[in-house]
Amino acid sequence: MTKLNEINYHQLTSTERFDLTIAALARNDLHEVDRLKRTCKRMQYTMLDHEYTSKLEHIAFIAAKFEALHNSYYHKMILFSGFMAAHEIDETSMKYLAAYNDQASCILSLYKAFDAFCTEAGLNQTNVSSWLKIDPKPIYDFIGKKTLLTLQLDTVLTDHLKNRFLAIWNGDIQ
């Protein structure tokens, strides 16, 4: 291999420098690796505040997660309500009613988890919900006041979802 002088090192392209570094590492030539690193062109970058942009990315991810779960629970509720309507009150319709109530409980847990997440993260829940179009009223209306009174909130699911949202918010889940 041809010996490079200090001037040549400064003129290397990124690809050439990378290839030479890998070759030096393969030879276990740490002195050459250090020289390639030391003579590497220095760059300065500016960017938006990382904490700010990360928070925007995290809340967008939380919103996507919320919407995916919401849609899953909601569509299952629609499906089970259709099955209930197609049956007379019998054992089968009671199974559909139980499945419907399970999904309704899940969707209520989702909303409660989101509220708890906003509180624990110190976010203005009203502003965040408004921006993300998270409004439980249509769901509450769909489920019905009578059903809402008899539903048992799944506290384990609520805590799990809240903790999941917090983990995303804190950057623990990508």
The per-residue pLDDT for range 2-39, each reduced to its tens digit, is 566 666 888 899 999 999 999 999 999 999 999 999 99
Question: What does the alpha-carbon distance between residue 45 and residue 52 come to, in Å, rounded to a whole number?
Answer: 17
Sorted by sequence, the CB contacts under 8 Å of residue 143 that are 6+ apart come out as: 77, 104, 107, 108, 151
Quick one: which of 141, 172, 165, 173 has its CA closest to 63? 165
Question: What does the alpha-carbon distance between residue 120 and residue 165 come to, in Å, rounded to a whole number?
Answer: 10
**pLDDT score at 100:** 82
Note whether 96 and 87 are within 8 A (CB): yes
CB atoms within 10 A of CB 32: 17
pLDDT digits (tens, 9 = 90+) for 105-140: 899 999 999 999 999 999 998 999 888 888 888 877
Predicted TM-score (pTM) of this structure: 0.70
* Whole-number average pLDDT of the chain: 87
